[in-house]
Structure 1
Amino acid sequence: MLRIALIFLMLLAAPSSQAADEDWNHTEVVVAAKRPPGPALWRIKKGDAEVVIVGILPVFPKSQSWSTKRLENALRGAKVLITPPDAKTSAGDAVRVLRTKGLPGKLTLKDVLPPELNARFEATAKRAGVSPKAFAHDKPVWAGARLRREVLEKRRLSADEPTDTIARIARKQGVPVRPAGKYKTGPVLKDLNRLSDQESQECLIHTLGDIDFNMDRAPKAAAAWAVGDIRTVRANYQGG
């Protein structure tokens, strides 16, 4: 199902005009015959507190347009916008990855991967229009990660949207924006470099599946998200 990632903390004393702008009875867009424009929102109330939630997708096409009106209305009178956790990678961690991401000696992926997995890696890269040669000397886990990044860029898929757009709307309305948490990626990167050969290959298999799925389904999922069509989103969504 949708990853619940953006939370608007709302005041019950929001402007009365907001109620006229939004008919929250149509939030169940899966069964609504006439869907309101924009992504689906869920409203939760407890006492004097009110929260509005919108789910986001792992990746989102940069070319996908969507109506921001519902989000603008939801943010009107909000106390804060809570976004997904922020990841911080230090310069030292980045340099360390560059130094340790490669296979030992002159080994290549073709040398260390089972033939069928190497063939799948090359097929996915070529299908995306990315040369697999750039990752030939990477450890499997890093080859997959770097290929995924290249594919996202080539297919103009963003891991930052629509969060960045929603955050801009919030700031424009004077609503504070706060991440749900912060974490350093250093320990995660170190753990990745400690993976066994088998574990590294399993990570590559998972990443290739994610890449193939995103190339096939991300545009469909985003188009459905943009109009609140949750049934179609679920049919074209791969949870992580």
Structure 2
Amino acid sequence: MKVMHAVPALALGLLAAGAWAQEEAPAPEGEKVVITGQRPGPGLWKVSKGDHVMYVFGDYAPLPAKMDWRSHEVEAILAKSQEYLPKPDFGISVGLWGGLKMLPFAIGYKDNPDGAKLVDVLPAETYDRWQVLKAKYIGKDSGIERERPMFVAETLYRKGLEKNGLTMRTGVAEKIHKIAQQYKVKTTSSSFHMELENPGQALKAFKNSPGADTACFAKTVDKLESDLDAMRVRANAWAVGDMSKITSLSFAEREEACKEAVKANDAFKSNEKLVQAEKDIGRKWLENAERALAANSTTFAVLSLARILDPKGPLAELQAKGYKVEAPE
């Protein structure tokens, strides 16, 4: 029996987000409407060698909370595909016995070490900015002042999305997976999942590790509202497939700062398997993509939009190896 546990799985999940998700830099002003109703999303990237083709869908979050994604193009191509490569993810679990052993350490896992509050661990200027954003997006919550900056940053980020009509729970990947199952398409995962060998020790290390997550919090506070503007613009552009606007926005620094906060924690640094997995997850997808392209006439794959647009990402690597890569218009 397996059970998922919030920590260190939650914190280490931020690492995967850094590698495979996305945040935005400032966007053009003036776009406040968040699209609703049924929308197709962007067109598909096309990777080919000879007559073998892999179509790549650019997954993105957050999206408008009231939007219903539906793409007839995706369904038509999946229906004729021989293989489906889902977007890689990064999962950590603990066994039932491991979960029981974690319980003595679980109380207060989100809190700062030694009972410190945010006012004690943050620079004064950052704390003052936090107070303004807290009042705007969270409201009265004295308990959150005891939490570690990385957890507070995630709460603030999520509340900001909700206030702007956006959601990380888009349901798009789940719908694509159901279509693949409907047409009985072979699915090849590039994801990494592992069970912690000593979850109690990992949680204890996480709790006692010095606060290396202040940079994550500072980036969230400094960039939140400009990032929200950009995310709203890109969410609208993704919904209608406006490639010119999608590609005009760059990805920002917050996610990288939060990823580094996790990597600096003793719970991560002391686990060689996790360190190696963070390096290998992209390589595994690339290997599966090349094998599928060689074996199949049609393959369907999913990557995050950030990874697709990354000039050093997997599509750029395939192009450097001689594959033809075409972006949607």
TM-score (norm 1): 0.67
Report deviation, 1:126: 3.0
Asked if 1:104 corresponds to 2:113, the answer is yes
Matched residue, 2:220: 207
Q: Which has the higher contact order (CA 8 A, sep 6+)?
A: 2
TM-aligned CA deviation for residue 118 of structure 1 = 1.1
Q: CA deviation at 1:67?
A: 4.0
Which residue does the alignment assign to 1:28?
none
C-alpha distance after superposition, 1:7-51 (max 9, x if no partner): xxxxxxxxxxxxxxxxxxxxxxxxxxxxxx641211122245320
3-state secondary structure, aligned to 1:78: coil
Query: How many Å separate the matches in 1 of 2:19 and 2:53?
Result: 16
**Secondary structure of 1:147's partner?**
helix
Residue 175 (structure 2) pairs with residue 165 (structure 1): yes
Cα distance in 2 between the residues matched to 1:56 and 1:191: 34
Question: Deviation at 1:109?
Answer: 0.7
Gaps of 5+ in 1: 6-36
Residues 148, 177 of structure 1: alpha-carbon distance in 2 compared, 3 angstrom cutoff:
farther
Provide the C-alpha distance between the structure 2 equivalents of 1:233 and 1:94, rounded to a whole number of angstroms: 43
CA distance in 2, matches of 1:59, 1:94: 32
Kindly tell me: are residues 61 and 76 of structure 1, through their superposed partners in 2, closer, same or farther at Cα, counting changes over 3 Å?
Answer: same
Q: Which has the higher helix share?
A: 2
Q: Secondary structure at the match of 2:151?
A: helix
> What's the counterpart of residue 222 of structure 1?
235
- What is the TM-score when the length of structure 2 is the normalising length? 0.51
Q: Is 2:56 the counterpart of 1:46?
A: no
- What is the percent sequence identity of the aligned residues? 24
Does the 8 A contact of 1:59 with 1:161 survive in 2? Answer: no
In structure 2, what is the equivalent of residue 136 of structure 1? 145
After TM superposition, the structure 1 = structure 2 runs for residues 116-155 of structure 1, keeping only pairs within 5 Å, are 116-152=125-161, 155=165
Q: 1:141–1:204: 8 Å Cα contact kept in structure 2?
A: yes
Total equivalences in the alignment: 206
> 1:179 and 1:150, CA in 2 relative to 1: closer, same or farther beyond 3 A?
farther
- In the alignment, is the contact (CA less than 8 A) between 1:103 and 1:138 conserved in 2? yes
Which stretch of structure 1 is more off in the superposition, 149-158 or 132-141?
149-158
Match of 2:77 in 1: 74
Q: CA deviation at 1:214?
A: 4.6
Whether 2:251 is the aligned partner of 1:238: answer yes
Shift in alpha-carbon separation, 1:189–1:235, aligned structure 2, 3 A: farther
Whether contact under 8 Å (1:135, 1:146) holds in the other structure is no
Answer yes or no: is the 8 Å Cα contact 2:138–2:156 preserved in 1.
no
How many Å separate the matches in 1 of 2:228 and 2:102?
A: 27
Cα distance in 2 for residues equivalent to 1:4 and 1:124:
27
Instruction: Name the CA shift for 1:4/1:145 in 2 (closer, same or farther; >3 Å).
Output: closer
Unaligned ranges ≥5, structure 2: 1-17, 21-39, 256-329
